[in-house]
Amino acid sequence: MDPNYYEGNEGRLIFTEWDPHGVGISWRIKRAITHVETPYQVIDLYETEDSGRLLVHDGAVMLTTADEAAYHEMIVHVPMLTHPNPRRVLVVGGGDGGTLRELVRHPTLELARQVEIDGEVVRVAREHLAGLATAFDHPKVDLVIGDGVKAVEEAEPGSYDVILVDSTDPLGPAVPLFEEPFYRSVHRALAEDGLLAQQVASTFYHLELYVTIVRRLRGIFPLVRPFTSQIPAYPSGNWGFALASKGPDPLRGLEAERCEPIEQDARYWNREIHRAAFALPNHARRELEA
Amino acid sequence: MDPNYYEGNEGRLIFTEWDPHGVGISWRIKRAITHVETPYQVIDLYETEDSGRLLVHDGAVMLTTADEAAYHEMIVHVPMLTHPNPRRVLVVGGGDGGTLRELVRHPTLELARQVEIDGEVVRVAREHLAGLATAFDHPKVDLVIGDGVKAVEEAEPGSYDVILVDSTDPLGPAVPLFEEPFYRSVHRALAEDGLLAQQVASTFYHLELYVTIVRRLRGIFPLVRPFTSQIPAYPSGNWGFALASKGPDPLRGLEAERCEPIEQDARYWNREIHRAAFALPNHARRELEA
C-alpha cells in the first residue's frame, strides 16, 4: 500500500486513506498535532488545510471536525428521539466525546455510561478536540475505561433504554461488536422499548458487509431499520448505520416538543433528515430486502 | 497543484481530483483508454481498478460508470415524474449519453433534443461508454452539436416541457449556464407547468456557490427546490441539484402508474429516494432559507 502520510508535489504534506474496495480520500495537512502508540492502536491527529482536525486510528479516518456532526448527531438523535422516554444510555466506544456531547442535549437522560477501551483516545480528545470533548465531566456521564463487550455482557438485563455502538469499522479489532453473541447481549441488556444504534459501513463500497450485518440484527431484533448519513470524510460520503429496536419505530412520527430544541442547535439533524435517512437507493434496497 | 495522473508507490497509476475547497479523491488506474484534445477541453478516459471507467474533462471528474446512475437517474426522473405530462425535453450538455438513456424510459416523451457543444464527448461515449451511449440513435432523440445557450435563446417560447442542464461545474466554461440571462431564456422556452433541472455543486464543500445559484433561480421561477443525490465520485459524495418549476411541485405526490416501471429498472431512483432527496442537512437548510 501507499503510505498514508507523505509529501506530495510542491512539498505539500498529504494524508490519504485508501479504501480497500474503493477510492482514496486525501487531505492537505498543515501539521501533525500528535502521534500516540497505545496498547490498542496508533492514534494520529492532524490539522488539515480545509477540514479542521483529522483523527486517525491505525491509518483509518475516524473523523474530521468539519463534518463529525453528521455522524454524532445521527447516531444519537435518531435513536433518542425514536425512544419514547430514554433515560439510561450505554455508549460502547465513542472516545472522542462527540456522542456524549449530543446525548446530554436530551432532557430525559439520567445516565450516559460510556465504556471506551482506550483511555488515550479520551486524553487526546480532551487535549486537542475541544469541540467534541465537552461532556466527559457532565454530572449525568459515567466514563469507564474498559471492554465494551464485557460491559454489555455483564449489564443487568433490561438496564438500558438505548445502547450506542460508536466503534471503529467491522474489519479490524472491533469485529466482535458486529457479531451475534454481542447482539444477543445487547438485546438482553436493553429494557422494553429499547434501541440499539450502530455505525456499520458504506452503503456503496461495502454494501455486502452492510447487508450481512443488518441481516444478523434482523435475526435477533423484531425491527431493524438501516439508515444513512452524509459524511464527506468517509468513503463514498454516505455512511450506513443500523437501528435495531425492541418496539419503537423511527418512522412512526416524532414528538415536536422534544425535537424542536435539538433541531434548533443541530448542524446536521432535522426532522426531514431523520425521515430521509431511512430512504435507501434502489441498489442497496434490493440487497437489503432480498 | 499536484498532477492529476501519476505513478504512486509500488508503481501503481493513480488519478486524483483535488477539490479547491476540500479533499482529493483518488482512483487506482488500470490503464488510460483515451486522451483527446478538442477545441473545448481535454477529455481523458481511464479504466479504474474498482469503479469501472472514469471520464475526466480538463482534470475534473465527470463520472465513473460505477455510480453514474445516481446522477443520471436523479437529473431525469425527478423532473420527468414531477411534470404531469412531459413530452418535449431539451438537454443542454449531457454528451456522455446517460441523460438520454434515462429520458427514453418515459413513455410520454415525444422529443428529446440534446445540444452538446463538443461532438468529441459523444464520439468517446459511443466508442468507450457502451452502458451510457444507448439512446443517441433512438427515434425520439434529436442530437445537435452546438451551443446550448444559443439553442435555449432561440427556442420558440413555451416549446419545451422540461429542460435539463447536464453540464460541467459553474466554475469553468459552463459559467453562462448558471447566470440570470440564461435562466430567463429557460423560463421563456418552457411551456406552462415547465421544469428546469440542473446539476450545481456539492452541498458541503461548495455550499456558498450552491446557495447563490438557488437564490438566482428563485428570482426567476415561482418554485425552486434544491435536492441532492449520493454520488461517491464527486467531492463530499453528496451532490446538489436544483429543480426550478413554473408550477408542479416534486413533493406533491407521484403517480404510481408512471413510477413503477421506472423504479423497477432503476439502480438509484425510487419513490422514497425522490422525496428524501429534498431533505437537506440543517447547515445547508439554514443557508438556503436565510
What would the 3-class secondary structure string for A134-187 be? Answer: CCCCCCCEEEEECCHHHHHHCCCCCCEEEEEEECCCCCCCCHHHHCHHHHHHHH
**Cβ(B186)–Cβ(B193) under 8 Å?**
no
Sheet of A223-230, strand order: A141-145, A111-116, A88-93, A160-166, A190-202, A238-245, A223-230
**Chain A partners of B282 at a C-beta cutoff of 8 Å?**
263, 266-270, 273
Q: What residues contact A59, with CB distance under 8 A and at least 6 apart? A: A4, A17, A42
CB contact under 8 Å between B282 and A276, yes or no, is no
pLDDT in tens, B150-176: 999 999 999 999 999 999 988 878 999
What cell was used for B7?
505513478
Q: How far is residue A201 CA from its own chain's centroid?
A: 10
Contact yes or no for B199/B178 (Cβ under 8 A)? no
Q: Which residue has the higher pLDDT, A145 or A4?
A: A145
A1 and chain B in contact, CB less than 8 A: yes
A238: nearest CB among B230, B267, B285 = B230
**Cell numbers given for A52:** 479542521
Strand, coil or helix: B226: strand
Asked if pLDDT for residue B102 goes beyond 90, the answer is yes
Neighbours of A47 (CB within 10 A): 16
Query: From the CB of residue A204, how many other CB atoms can be counted at a distance below 10 Å?
Result: 27
Q: Are A145 and A176 within 8 A, CB to CB?
A: no
For residue B1, pLDDT over 60 is answered with no
DSSP A156: P
Residues on chain B touching A51 (C-beta within 8 angstroms): 22-23
- Do the chains contact at B279 and A281, CB–CB below 8 Å? no
Residues facing A92 on adjacent strands: A115, A165
Instruction: Please tell me the distance in Å from A100's CA to the nearest CA on chain B.
Output: 20
Q: How many CB pairs under 8 A join A and B?
A: 152
pLDDT tens string A201-237: 999 999 999 999 999 999 999 999 999 999 999 999 9
Hey, is the C-beta of A285 within 8 angstroms of any chain B C-beta?
yes
A114-132 average pLDDT score: 98
Nearest-10 Cα torsion for B114, B117, B119, B125: -60
pLDDT score, position A1: 46
Interface of B with A in 5-34 (CB under 8 A): 8-10, 12, 14, 16, 18, 21-28
Give the closest of A10, A230, A282 to B268, CB-based: A282
**Three cell numbers, residue A5:** 502520510
Pure H helices in A21-147: 68-82, 98-103, 119-128
Q: How confident is the model at residue A2 (pLDDT cuts 50, 70, 90)?
A: low
Residue A11 has pLDDT above 90, yes or no: no
In B226-238, which positions are buried (b, 16+ CB within 10 angstroms) versus exposed (e)?
bbbbbbbbbbbbb
Task: Please identify which residue in the block is written with the cell numbers 444519537.
Answer: A76
CB atoms within 10 A of CB A66: 20
Q: Are B228 and B75 in contact (CB under 8 A)?
A: no
Cβ within 8 Å, pair B275-A279: yes
pLDDT digits over A14-70, tens only? 999 999 888 999 999 999 999 999 999 999 999 999 999 999 999 999 999 999 999
Name the pTM for this structure: 0.97
Tell me the chain A residues in contact with residue B208 when contact means C-beta distances shorter than 8 Å: none
Q: How confident is the model at residue B50 (pLDDT cuts 50, 70, 90)?
A: very high
- Looking at residue A82, its pLDDT comes to 98
Which residues, other chains included, contact A144 with Cβ-Cβ below 8 Å and sequence gap of 6+? A113, A114, A115, A116, A151
Structural element, H or E, at residue B72 = helix B68-82
Contact list, A237 vs chain B (CB under 8 Å): 230-232, 236-238
DSSP bridge partners of A246: none
Query: What span, in angstroms and rounded, lies between the C-alpha atoms of B129 and B133?
Result: 6
| Among A282, A285, A286, A287, the residue to mutate for chain B (most B Cβ within 10 A) | A282
Query: Residue A290 and residue B186: Cα distance in Å, rounded?
Result: 43
Task: Supply the pLDDT for residue B94.
Answer: 98
Q: Is A212 an interface residue toward B (CB < 8 Å)?
A: no
Are B54 and B33 in contact by the 8 Å Cβ rule? The answer is no
**Span B10-39, pLDDT tens digits:** 788 999 999 988 899 999 999 999 999 999
* CB-nearest partner of A51 from B23, B263, B283: B23
Percent of chain B with pLDDT over 90: 92
- As a whole number of angstroms, the distance between CA A102 and CA A174 comes to 23
Chain mean position to CA A31: 26
d(CA A116, CA A132): 15
Residue carrying C-alpha cell 424542536: A260
CB contact under 8 A, A272 and B280: yes
What DSSP string describes A183-231? HHHHHHHEEEEEEEEEEEEETTTTHHHHHHHHHHHHTT-SEEEEEEEE-
Q: How many CB atoms lie within 10 A of CB B276?
A: 21
Cβ–Cβ below 8 Å for B267 and A279? no
Q: Which residues of B touch A228 (CB under 8 A)?
A: 230
Contact at CB, A236 and B238, closer than 8 angstroms: no
Enumerate the residues of chain B whose CB falls inside 8 A of the CB of residue A272: 278-280, 285
Say which range, A159-173, A211-225, B42-56, B210-224, has the weakest mean pLDDT: A159-173
Q: Kindly report the number of other CB atoms within 10 A of residue A101's CB atom.
A: 22
Q: What is the mean pLDDT of residues B248-256?
A: 96
Nearest to B138 by CA among B106, B92, B168: B106
Partner residue opposite A276 with nearest CB, options B24, B266, B279: B279
Q: What is the ipTM of this complex?
A: 0.96
Q: What is the mean pLDDT of chain B?
A: 96
Which grid coordinates belong to B77? 426522473
Q: Which residues pair with B224 in a beta bridge?
A: B244
Count of Cβ atoms closer than 10 Å to residue B218 Cβ: 14
End-to-end CA distance of chain B: 35
Res B202 pLDDT > 60: yes
